[in-house]
Chains A and B, each alone.
Chain A
């Protein structure tokens, strides 16, 4: 059973139990499973989805649609930014150009996430890595390899735009480069 299913099953059981208790006592107060302490089961649920402006870095997302991953580079002082920034704090001019991150990167570090956050619980275990690219920027992303034996610091990776499932939206991954081929 996935972590998501386990969580949902657990919450369903808890909610059903609270409903039973409310029927008999009139109160959403249940004993803590571990300690027996009286717990008020919150009757108000909070669910949040944010809307985040990407207006000034819209080009980055247009790039993903073309299969490209862009960084920004200040036309004035040459500072390069990834994640892309619309403003250059160094020279305060904010006149940026978009440069593509290409070629082979070097994996600087990685981890494999087994215990997942609630909103990632529907995915299989995933590897997160950081790689340094020839354009002078580091990129953090999932690595397409989850066997720790096949991963090592210093291995070569390239960037690839992928459609993340099951949400079906564009993002980018680090793909190990086959050193034999």
Chain B
């Protein structure tokens, strides 16, 4: 049991096609906001963790390049990778450094500039991140393809339809339309989604998150420092982490991901949340909807619905504000965007603002319990992170 750790400052760039800025400029947008929000200077930061998957962007050592640009040299730094869960892995590392007493204030930055490479190359590089030799080299799986494997199995067993999947996209675009930081701040109709072209059957263009550039930053502090810096620290109440096989063929089931369930179990236990009825403890959830089927699977894996009944939640509108639990009122990865390294940090920024009551008009959730959950998944479930953020330590 280490020291308690709180978020005392947050920053979030506009997500989108950000060819107007370099990688370091993009990171600086959120670093600057986070420093201002916490009311501290670069000299107060003890250590900096960068979440960045890279490869598609040109700088191979982004941590030092950004540290230099942001006036953070000679602070110690590291770059962290956990595929699409990279941002959450960066937060976990930052958290653990503060919790251990090794540092008092740690800056965690998630940043990704995916559009420095052409789209077919990005599709290739992501596809290679399943299991390279056994799944990509000969069979060319893409990430929409991997998630389509889940969707096919799920629809065949439970009778969910392509319309059910599209309803997730419609919800997430609805909330993104009120989020000026979103990649696609606009609504879509069910018909638009249903009529969009197949990317990997049965997933269509509007079932898939976009290729996004963006950054997000959080400043983590020990309890003593946090209480000096702010009246509204948002505590990292619990972190659950787990993994699953690299080869998707070795999963015992394509309907529930063991890693996500295990991460949720760990996080709920640490936070004192009843896993049978977690929605009662939580005001909001930000979940990994890189593809619409992923959000439906996550409803079940996080315990909001029983196995096989996740699609009913979106059919009934239970994951809108006012329903059982609001999910992805930021717009989610689907419509807010999915800059891999930034995604998990962006979730932390979103939930901090929600808990502080500072979210955009029309998409602020009622804060009753003062607790929220973020679920960030890397790969096809390879890396799983579940974080509980709370107004109470």
- Interface residues of A, Cβ cutoff 8 Å to B: 3, 7, 10-11, 32, 34-35, 37, 39, 42, 52, 82-83, 108-121, 123, 126, 128, 130, 138-142, 148, 152-154, 164, 171
Distance from A145 Cβ to chain B, minimum over Cβ atoms (Å): 12
Q: Chain A nearest CB: distance from B251 CB in Å?
A: 8
- How close is A147's CB to chain B, nearest CB, in angstroms? 10
Q: Is the CB of B149 within 8 A of A130?
A: yes
Interface residues of B (CB under 8 A from A): 17, 19-20, 58, 118, 120-121, 123-124, 127-128, 133-136, 138-142, 144-145, 148-153, 156-157, 197-203, 247-250, 254
Q: Which residues of A contact B150 (CB under 8 A)?
A: 109
Is A39 a contact partner of B145 (Cβ separation < 8 A)?
no
Dominant SS among interface residues on chain A: mixed
CB pair A110 B124 closer than 8 Å: no
Q: Which residues of B contact A42 (CB under 8 A)?
A: 58
Given A111-B152, A117-B123, A164-B138: A128 and B145 interface contact (C-beta under 8 Å)? yes
CA A109 to CA B135, docked complex, whole Å: 15
Instruction: Return the 7 tightest CB-CB contacts between A and B, nearest first.
Output: A111-B148, A117-B124, A120-B140, A153-B156, A109-B153, A112-B201, A118-B120
Q: How far is the CB of A65 from chain B (nearest CB, A)?
A: 16
> Does B249 contact A115, Cβ atoms closer than 8 Å?
no
A117 touches B120 (CB 8 A): yes
Q: Nearest-CB distance from A71 to chain B (Å)?
A: 11
The listed residue (B118, B139, B153, B198) touching A128 by CB distance below 8 A is B139
Is A37's CB under 8 angstroms from B19's CB?
Answer: yes
Q: Is the CB of B249 within 8 A of A11?
A: no
The answer to whether A118 touches B201, judged by C-beta atoms less than 8 angstroms apart, is no
With A3-B120, A114-B201, A118-B123: A140-B153 Cβ-Cβ less than 8 Å: no
Q: Give 25 CB contacts A-B under 8 Å.
A: A7-B120, A35-B17, A109-B149, A109-B156, A111-B145, A111-B149, A111-B200, A112-B148, A115-B123, A115-B199, A116-B142, A117-B140, A118-B123, A119-B140, A126-B140, A130-B149, A138-B249, A138-B250, A140-B247, A142-B139, A148-B201, A148-B202, A152-B156, A154-B156, A164-B138
**Residues of A with C-beta under 8 A to B202:** 111, 148
In the complex formed, the residue of A with least CB distance to B138 is A171
Whose C-beta in chain B lies nearest to the C-beta of A123?
A: B140
- What 16 additional pairs, Cβ within 8 angstroms, besides A109-B152, A117-B128? A3-B120, A10-B118, A35-B17, A39-B19, A111-B145, A114-B198, A115-B199, A117-B123, A117-B136, A120-B124, A120-B140, A126-B140, A128-B149, A140-B247, A142-B139, A152-B156
Q: Which residues of A contact B128 (CB under 8 A)?
A: 117
Distance to closest chain B CB from A179 (angstroms): 18
- Bound complex: CA A175 to CA B250 (Å): 20
A10 to B121, CA, bound (A): 13
B135 touches A140 (CB 8 A): yes
Minimum distance in angstroms from A13 CB to a CB of chain B: 12
Q: With a CB–CB cut-off of 8 A, which chain A residues contact B153?
A: 108-109, 153
Are A140 and B248 within 8 A (Cβ)?
A: yes
Q: Which of B145, B152, B198, B248 contacts A153 (CB 8 A)?
A: B152
CA distance A116 to B123 in the complex (A): 7
Q: Given the complex of chains A and B, what is the CA–CA distance between A48 and B148 in angstroms?
A: 29
